[in-house]
Structure 1
């Protein structure tokens, strides 16, 4: 599939119907466009099966509730729609994007209780999120923007508005020749990358930031489970910036990122070591099982 995301052949599921890709549009006064009242998921299908699909569908509904929005479809209905989209587009290996939003209606201000909630699902072929970083290790900038405090935003929701500073940080990183940026949290602890969680290795043990102000990713949870199954010690804790110098290996996790090695963060360098490579390969085996 080539071309801009608005100009492609195929079908997108919108509010219970498959529509032509180029016709999947919304009105300019859609509330989500003005006030970020939108939640979404990112999922990958391997060999015709969406990995942890029901967990993603359930999280979509939970995210909507966190921003005071009710999606008028059940997990089962969302599941059926996702596979309908894949079949309509002839896809077995794909990235799947459900998105729910408040549309245009009687309200056009901060309040939007009278506006309908919509749901759409698209799917397309998508390769490695970080290109050749899977083998060489990604290069990360250190973002100036920080993940907000829990009292300022519903951090456990996969909500569109929370990604504004992530977009700004990734743009700044790309301008420096980096693949992504690592963000600190509001206290100055290491948090995550712009769209992926982060792990470090030291003396054969794994350290990963405690997700108390950022999204506890489904891939993150999967990888922690895989490490524990292999009897590898995992420390979920607050990580200070000065600790970066002492870590030997680093990787990112996320639906798009999968398990991607990191070779550099700012001035700190990391080995693409055996544990990192093993977890990347083991995750690939798991999702295709």
Structure 2
């Protein structure tokens, strides 16, 4: 499948029905378009099975609750709908996007409690999120924006509005020839990239920022567990920017990113070493098992 995302063959599940891809539209006065009342999940299917599918559906419900709305479909119904989408589109290895939002209704100000909540699920073939960087190591910029305080936003929701600074930061990074951008948080600590969590290696041990002001990704959690199974010490802690110089290896994790090695962050270089390669290979085996 190729071309613009609004002009493709296929079927998208919308509010309980399969809809032709090109007809899967919403009204211009949809509340989510104006006020970001939208949450989503990005998932990958391998050999016809969505990895951690139910956890993604559960998190979608959690995120909606953080934005003060309820999805009118149960986790079981969402699970069934995702499989229906894969089958309808003849996909086995695919990226799956579930999105829930407040639609157009009686309210068109900030408040929107009277507006209906919708759910849609689409799936398409999607290769390596960072292209060939997955094999040779991504080049990462350092974003000018910072991850905000948990007192200002629902930091543990996967909500569309939280990605505004991700888009602008990734655009700036790509303009410099980079694959992504690394955020610091509001305290100045190393946080995450625009759509992926980050890990570092030093002296055979792994260090990753504590997920207290950003999304604790499901892939991140999976990789932490894999490292512990391999008896590799994992430090989930505060990481200062000046520590970047001391790390030997680095990689990113995310449903889209999977496990992608990093070769450079700003002026700091990293090797694609044995721990990085081993985790990437083990993750690939796990998701296809």
Q: What band does the TM-score fall into relative to the shorter chain?
A: over 0.9
CA offsets per residue over residues 129-181 of structure 1, 9 Å max, x none?
00001111000000000000000000000000000001010000000000000
Match in the other structure for 1:32? 32
CA offsets per residue over residues 255-284 of structure 1, 9 Å max, x none?
000000000000000001011011001000
CA offsets per residue over residues 95-152 of structure 1, 9 Å max, x none?
0000000000000000000000000000000000000011110000000000000000
SS at match of 1:275: helix
SS at match of 1:41: strand
TM-score by length of 1: 1.00
Match in the other structure for 2:214? 214
CA offsets per residue over residues 227-272 of structure 1, 9 Å max, x none?
0000000000000000000000000000000000000000000001
Query: Matched residues in 1 for 2:26 and 2:230: separation?
Result: 48
Query: Matched residues in 2 for 1:277 and 1:229: separation?
Result: 16
Match in the other structure for 2:97? 97
Match in the other structure for 2:14? 14
Query: Matched residues in 2 for 1:98 and 1:27: separation?
Result: 18
Query: Which stretches of structure 1, 4 residues or longer, exceed 4 Å deviation after superposition?
Result: none
Match in the other structure for 1:265? 265
Match in the other structure for 1:136? 136
Match in the other structure for 2:76? 76
1:221 Cα offset (Å):
0.1
Match in the other structure for 2:163? 163
SS at match of 1:131: coil
Match in the other structure for 1:173? 173
SS at match of 1:155: coil
Query: Matched residues in 2 for 1:128 and 1:184: separation?
Result: 25
CA offsets per residue over residues 170-203 of structure 1, 9 Å max, x none?
0000000000000000000000000000000000
Unaligned runs of 5+ in 1: none
Query: Matched residues in 2 for 1:6 and 1:134: separation?
Result: 28
Match in the other structure for 1:276? 276
Match in the other structure for 2:4? 4
Unaligned runs of 5+ in 2: none
Query: Matched residues in 2 for 1:159 and 1:252: separation?
Result: 20
Note if 1:88 corresponds to 2:73. no
Note if 1:189 corresponds to 2:189. yes
Alignment: residue pair count: 289
Note if 1:146 corresponds to 2:142. no
Query: Matched residues in 2 for 1:131 and 1:33: separation?
Result: 30
SS at match of 1:121: strand
Query: Matched residues in 2 for 1:152 and 1:202: separation?
Result: 33
Match in the other structure for 2:109? 109
Match in the other structure for 2:49? 49
Query: Matched residues in 2 for 1:129 and 1:281: separation?
Result: 16
Query: Matched residues in 1 for 2:135 and 2:155: separation?
Result: 32
1:78 Cα offset (Å):
0.1
Query: Matched residues in 1 for 2:16 and 2:241: separation?
Result: 47
